[in-house]
Structure 1
Amino acid sequence: MRRILVAGLILASGVLLSASVWGQSSFDIRVRIDPSRGVLTGEQSVVLTNTSTGAWESLLFQWSLSASTKRVEEVSDRGGNPLSVRYIKSEDTLSEGDVFLFEVVLPSPLPSGEETTLRLKFSASGLTQQEDAYLLSDTWYPRLYTSVKGRDTGASDDPAFFNVSLTIPSSFKVAASGKELSRLQEGEGRVRIDYEGELLRGFSLMVSSGWERLVTTTSGVEIQSYFQPEYEHWGKRLAAIASEVIDFYSRKFGSYPYKKLCIVPGSKTEEGGYSTPNIIVVHQSFDKMAADFGVSFALGFSRWLIAHLIASQYWGIYIVDAPPFPPWLTNGLALYSDRSYMESIRFSNPIYYNLLQYYLQAAAEGLNTTVLRPIAELESELPDWENIVAKGKALAIVNMLVHLIGEKEFDRVLIQLLRRYY
């Protein structure tokens, strides 16, 4: 019976986890950032293969960089011939805020199995700055836009190859998703840094002239901790926690998916953080938290937060849910992973109980908490669908599976998922 349940979970995950839409695309990007003026200029070449069954007549791109002005200055084919571009108003899509959509019309339909190359030039001004940094998540360059059964689902997160060349003032520290290959000093106090990234779901760049950096290595993973000088104690502490967490996950899941992890400071007033490929952004509110609730609470929260954000590198970035459904499976697996770490160090955290209560309360009220529903449908019926469904019910489902087949067998399933769906 146990084997049947394990096999069922693996087969079900084939439907719930994302499969490739574009094949193995590649990005070659040259970008220049002028922090003093808040200006970014870039050129990118993207190669992609039509892995669908029909011919492509056009391609959609999404550019979600937070800036006051954005321009796509030129789009051409491999030979440099200009291509027609149609700009799409935000009200025509399900996107909001800083999203910028445009459609590129191909010179002729691209048959299934064929490859094409597009070249784009783009620029932006009025870049949004946070504290003393520009935190450019994997939305600073135009990305392919996908749809499932006619519904827009956002920028493609298929694994891709990246070659990125960044020009920036030499005084700036840079946290990047890829591996640094070389540095070349240029005129006017600037440096060009070349990176490569293999099978990443996006490429993030985060830069600041006010950061210090600490580098450590554990389980074959280089940890780069960036911090403001006044938060050096937390920069060192978070690096030590990350090292401990990666060691734990490497033992639990067999390995860590990447050879690099950057820890970057976020807001000084917010709590929590977020993950992008190979980078976790951690808001710097721990000192205030320690003053308000005690040092022990702040230390416990920092341990849980780092464990959760690193777990999200496995479940949410390395492995992703299939659109248009909410990320309930990867959220549930990330919460299971960080809870396992917290239990290993005998640290209790009420967040797991609280998330379950969101779901149980909604179920008691007779609300529809079905997980396999499009996000737009959930948003219209459950304003707090993220806590109720994508986290609370997700955790309940994972708890049930662990109870049915046991933690050891469940971990074996997760190892197979990591090997199979990337």
Structure 2
Amino acid sequence: MLQIILSVLLFGSIDIPTPPSYVRDIIKKQVYPATVDVDSVHSYDVQSYSINLEIDPGNKYIEGFTDISCRIVYASVDTLTFDFWDMVIETVMVDGVGVPYDYGGGCLDVLLPSAASAGETLLVHVAYSGYPQIHSTPFWGEGIYFTNKAIYSLQCPEGSRYWYPSWDKPFDKATVEMIITVPDTLFLCSNGLLQDSINTGGGMITYSWMHDYPTATYLQLFAASRYVQLKDTMHVVPIIHYVYPEDSANAVADFSMIPEAIDYYSVLFGPYPFEKFGFNESGVGGGMEHQTNVSLGSFLITGTGAYEMVFVHELAHMWWGDMVTLVDWRHCWLNEGFATYAEALWWEHLYGKDGLKAYMTDLQNQYISWEGGGHLYPIFDPPLQYLYSTTTYEKAATVLHMLRFLIGDSLFFNTLKTYGNTYKYINASTDDFKNIAEMVSGEGLDWFFDEWIYGAGSPKFKYTIYRDTNSDS
């Protein structure tokens, strides 16, 4: 029997702005990986990446090496396989010793001189050079972009392979160091904190960045431009934005709410999980939640606050997507549904319960319209072309809101905090979240998840209205 939760939306006289529906298509990425890899275990576990490159913008050329620290997982391993495309490999070494390898078809197989055992840690060094290519997805390409204003990487969902060797799946998170040399007219930013910058002569400068937190490959980045740095030194979390000089005044106005938003989400979700937060401006087609350093398209920086909901959506990803990362792409809603609901929570913070109702009504109506177009897909494991869609964003957010209604505010937000603490810096699945919700609430929720997460569509009601012509009322 279908179980239905209905929320009656009653609006008061408070002046609540219309939710900014125009941000919805900007927030949705509408990209998808070529395949869904549901295997969350492979023969090794990457512990760290150290990416050391020199970039020649004029020739759109890179040269350097990547060191990969790998801990062996299987009992015996004689080959390490990495995702890698487009580059010319010069040398491959393991623990300082040259080894043979096979390279082609997007795979680099490193042949170990002797089998490694579970628990061993190996350092793989790959030296390479080449002209990185942009590999297309339905919405944006993955790889390194060379534009008039910026050089930047964009690799969601599985595009790190186009400029450094990696195990390019979201379930293998690792720390990342980037040591990148660019022309000295540019400032280069990345994940984490800047460790050093050294003028190396010949008009070049080397920036060293370190992010000592586990990071999925799709969340790693660099961006280089003639950036102005906007720093907020008053907040407990260091906030540093990197924007074009001509947009700096608008950025100051637009980003002024970020400290308040960090504080608010820290109350709801738990303390901010990383060593800094900021935005970098580039040519991306919207927002991308690179860990600690979110990429924003220039058009979002207006000085009017028009895209505030994009900003808080991307900020919320620091908890949902970055701190806790989906185990594979079937669980995309754990990233995007959570970040979309965080928008509604921000609207609630600004405009109270009536504001929350208005925002949720808007999300619900967007999904109903989407479903009316024939998009009857479940939130969990939708068709690949709809991985980033209204189903995994707006519908997933409304289902989270229903869960909040079902178990109550206290248990709902305790569920979020417990889920975050349990899977902090690792990966989680839909069942992991369900199990936490059941544990915290004391409720059996199979029926709820079966109908709303694993099932498709929304309730349809048939009704008949009778009029009593003999009544005076």
> How high is the sequence identity, in percent, across the aligned residues?
19
Q: Deviations over 1:60-83 (max 9, x none)?
A: 32247xxxx532332222132222
Alignment of 1:125-144 (within 5 A): 125=131, 128-137=145-154, 139=160, 141-144=163-166
AA at the equivalent of 2:79: S
Equivalent residue for 1:371?
A: 379
Q: Which structure 2 residues correspond to residues 259-338 of structure 1 after superposition, within 5 A?
A: 259-267=275-283, 270=285, 272-286=286-300, 299=305, 301-338=306-343
TM-score of the aligned structures, taking structure 2 as reference length: 0.69
1:131, CA displacement in angstroms? 4.4
Query: Structure 1 residue 172: deviation in Å?
Result: 0.8
Could you tell me which of 108, 130, 134 is aligned with 1:124? Answer: 130
- Structure 1 unmatched ranges of 5 or more: 1-16, 89-99, 146-153
- 1:56 aligned onto 2:77: yes
Structure 2 CA distance for partners of 1:164 and 1:267, relative to 1, 3 Å = closer
Comparing 159-168 with 363-372, greater Cα deviation is found at 363-372
For residue 232 of structure 1, report the CA deviation from its aligned partner.
1.9
CA distance in 1, matches of 2:335, 2:153: 24
Mapped to 1, the partners of 2:369 and 2:255 lie a distance apart of 38
1:319–1:212: structure 2 CA closer, same or farther, 3 Å change rule? same
Aligned partner (choices 101, 111, 127) of residue 84 of structure 1: 101
| 1:207 maps to 2:224 | yes
For residues 105-143 of structure 1, the C-alpha deviation after alignment (integer angstroms, 9 at most, x for no partner) is 333333332322211012232653234101124626434
- Judge conservation of contact 2:54–2:62 (CA < 8 Å) in 1: yes
Match in the other structure for 2:468: none
Partners in 1 of 2:171 and 2:165 — Cα distance? Answer: 9
Partner residue in 2 for 1:339: 344
How far does the alpha carbon of each residue in 1:312-334 deviate from its partner, in whole angstroms, 9 at most, with x for none? 12111221112251411222211
In the TM superposition, what is the alpha-carbon distance from 1:275 to its structure 2 partner? 1.3
CA deviation string 1:262-292 (max 9, x = no partner): 3111339x5x3211121111222257xx7xx
- Secondary structure of the residue that 2:328 maps to in structure 1? coil
Tell me how far 1:229 sits from its aligned partner: 2.3
CA distance in 2, matches of 1:259, 1:314: 13
**CA-CA distance at 1:309 after TM superposition:** 0.5
Measured in 1, the distance between the counterparts of 2:102 and 2:151 equals 29
Is residue 62–residue 143 contact of structure 1 (8 Å, CA) maintained in 2? yes
Distance (Å, rounded) in 1 between the aligned partners of 2:165 and 2:339? 26
Following TM superposition, by how much is the alpha carbon of 1:311 offset from its aligned partner in structure 2, in angstroms? 0.6
Whether the 8 Å contact between 2:170 and 2:326 is mirrored in structure 1 is: no
Q: Distance in 2 between matches of 1:178 and 1:137?
A: 17
Alpha-carbon offset, residue 220 of structure 1: 2.2
What code does the residue aligned with 1:167 have? T
Q: What's the offset of the Cα at 1:359? A: 4.3
Structure 1: how far apart are the matches of 2:165 and 2:417? 30
Shift of 1:388: 4.0
Task: Normalising by structure 1, report the TM-score.
Answer: 0.76
Change (3 A) 1:181 1:112: same
Q: Could you say which structure has the higher strand fraction?
A: 1
- Partner in structure 1 of residue 175 of structure 2: 161
1:47 corresponds in structure 2 to: 69
Mark the CA change 1:30 to 1:365 in structure 2 (over 3 Å): closer, same or farther.
closer
Structure 2 residue 44 is matched with structure 1 residue 36: no
Q: 1:178: how far off?
A: 2.4
Q: For residues 208 and 336 of structure 1, do their structure 2 counterparts lie closer, same or farther at Cα, with a shift above 3 Å needed?
A: same
Are residues 1:183 and 2:197 paired? yes
**What amino acid maps onto 2:411 in structure 1?**
E
What is the CA–CA distance in structure 2 between the aligned matches of 1:388 and 1:25, rounded to whole Å? Answer: 35
Larger-gyration structure (1/2): 2
Q: Is the 8 A contact 2:47 2:173 kept in 1?
A: yes
Describe the shift of the 1:162–1:282 C-alpha distance in structure 2 as closer, same or farther (beyond 3 A).
closer
Q: 1:130 is matched by which residue type in structure 2?
A: T
Change beyond 3 A, Cα 1:57–1:158: same
C-alpha contact (below 8 Å) 1:220/1:259 kept by paired residues: no
Q: Go from structure 1 to structure 2 and tell me whether the alpha carbon gap of 1:83 and 1:228 turns closer, same or farther (over 3 Å shift).
A: same
Judge conservation of contact 1:359–1:388 (CA < 8 Å) in 2. yes
| Unpaired segments ≥5 residues, structure 2 | 1-37, 133-143, 426-473
Q: What is the aligned counterpart of 1:392 among 377, 394, 408? A: 394
CA contact under 8 A between 2:91 and 2:98: conserved in structure 1? no
Superposed CA RMSD: 3.1
Alignment CA distance shift 1:19-1:40 (3 Å): same
**Letter of the structure 2 residue corresponding to residue 412 of structure 1:** N
